[in-house]
Amino acid sequence: MDNSKIGLHISGKFNKELEDMRDRVLIMGGLVEQQIKRAVTAFSTGDLQMAEQVIKIDNEVDALEIAIDRECMEILALRQPAAFDLRLLITAIKIVIELERIGDLAERIAEMAIQLSETDSSNRHKHYFELVHMADLVENMLHGALNVFARMKVEDVTLIIKLDENVDREYASIIRQLVTQMMEDSRNITRMLDVLWVARALERIGDRACNICEHLVYMVKGQDVRHLTQAELKKR
């Protein structure tokens, strides 16, 4: 399946509205990708300027969410679309909600980086590699999901959902290490709980990227796959 579905309307203006809307979703997605990367770097390195950038970008992300949502509602009211166009618009509304919440998670990681820099400068690099690696994974998932939305190549969804298994494995491994370190030295506990929180936020970002994929399958195929198991999904 390709983009040609969007090009079939008699009204050129309607085409353009749908394309503009889709472009804006992709711009919003690009901003959120930047947020993830920078938030984890800020948390790991203590780079406060970078943390503040993440918070600043979040304002843009929030504004885009409202703008795209409004745009979709206007198109729905004025064009009264059916079939694929209707699913495209409803899916865009769902995707921007997921993106905005991913942005919020990144923002909270950045806020935590700022808060930690005020209280604690030791131990900073201890979980750098694990968290950065996990962040790379979930960022790839999100990037892949946005590519599916851009190109409507829904076959790639399987690969992205497969990546989520790696994320879950990384997450479980980080938790195990953290628990061991907390047991070894109870002075570590508060700091380790912060690392745990960041790991969990990344895991949730991975889940939200999967949610986006599920919305996209529904958009393209008109099938609701939200409550299929991963194994059932892979067979499709």
Query: Which residues would be at the binding site for a second copy (CB under 8 A)?
Result: 62-63, 65-66, 69-70, 73, 76-77, 80, 82-83, 86-87, 90, 93-94, 97, 100, 175, 179, 182-183, 186, 189-190, 193, 196, 224, 226-227
Long-range contact set of residues 76-79: C-beta below 8 Å, sequence gap at least 24: 79/11, 79/14, 79/17
* The residue type at 173: S
C-alpha pair distances (Å), 236 with each of 156, 176, 219, 224, 231: 11, 34, 15, 12, 9
What does the buried/exposed string (b/e) look like for 34-59 if buried means 16 or more CB atoms within 10 Å of the residue's CB?
A: bbbbbbbbbbbbbeeebbbbbbebbe
Q: Considering the complex, what minimum distance in angstroms separates the CB of residue 81 from a second copy? A: 8
Q: Considering the complex, what minimum distance in angstroms separates the CB of residue 47 from a second copy? A: 26
Closest to a second copy by CB, 92 or 140: 92
Instruction: Specify the DSSP class assigned to residue 79.
Output: H
Closest to a second copy by CB, 25 or 140: 25
Closest to a second copy by CB, 67 or 132: 67
Q: Considering the complex, what minimum distance in angstroms separates the CB of residue 104 from a second copy? A: 10
Q: Considering the complex, what minimum distance in angstroms separates the CB of residue 139 from a second copy? A: 22
Tokens coding 135: 């962040």
Closest to a second copy by CB, 26 or 73: 73
Instruction: Specify the DSSP class assigned to residue 125.
Output: T
Closest to a second copy by CB, 7 or 222: 222
Q: Considering the complex, what minimum distance in angstroms separates the CB of residue 28 from a second copy? A: 14
* The residue type at 54: V
* The residue type at 42: A
